[in-house]
Amino acid sequence: MKPKVAIPEPHSSKLEYNERSTVHYDASLRAAGLEPVLIPSPAAPEEVARLISNCRGILLPGSPADVAPQKYGAVRISETCSADPLRDNLDELLLQDAHNLYKPIFGICYGMQSLNVWRGGTLIQHLETTPVDHQPASKPLRAHEIRIEAESLLSKLAGSNGAPVNSSHHQAVGVPGDGLKISARSPLDDVIEAVEGTAPEHWVVAVQWHPERTFDSEGLSRKLFEEFAGAVRAWVPRAIMESLAGR
């Protein structure tokens, strides 16, 4: 039986986006040997608890929403998209469970931002004009390069010379949250492109690009999912820790 991984419904009301995006996450997780368990955004906490009880990890996907700026002490600007409170609440439930039990966490795009804010970090609400187009209209599979930090998990997967990534975001991590460290940046403008957990016993990786879209064509994308799958298979239940939410 394939290990199960919880994945929240990307958006609570944009069904077309959900249908279009989840097929990529589903296919990548299955190709890596995992079974995705889609958690509906409107699910009650007790239903969420039931659904994730047999899941060994979580994947936080992208979303057309933006995290509410007040959650990281900022005033909303006009470029910031509407928040999705149901998705935010669901992410918080999944993150609390994963951090309590050290379940592996893989965040992608909005999922990286959600994780960072939950850990007390901040976001850049809108990327102004830089040498890099982080939201190209044509959504090329190779939008720009990333510079990977030495001694990071990403460096073990791709080396420290950098790698090409796709790009589809207008926000980015500002200050990394508690227990997170920067593992990749966009070299021309220093935008943070990936973070990792600092606790060696807890697998936590989040990236700003979309590896699920390039699983079949980019080695780093495939390796990220395979590494996540390895961590999920190796996970064993741990004693419940003190809550980290809201720090």
The mean pLDDT of the chain is: 94
- Of the chain, the end-to-end C-alpha distance in Å amounts to 37
- B/e letters for 28-58, b = 16+ CB within 10 Å, e = fewer, are bbeebebebbebebebeeeebeebbeebbbb
> Across-strand partners of 26?
none
Calculate mean pLDDT across residues 189-197: 97
Res. 135 pLDDT band, cuts 50 70 90: confident
Q: What percent of the chain has pLDDT over 70?
A: 96
Confidence of residue 247 (pLDDT cuts 50, 70, 90): very low
Give tens-digit pLDDT for 37-59.
999 999 999 999 999 999 999 99
Q: Is the pLDDT of residue 194 over 70?
A: yes
Cα 202 from chain centre: 15
The angle formed by the CA atoms of residues 143, 184 and 189, to the nearest 5 degrees, is 60
Helix (H, G, I), strand (E, B) or coil at 101: helix
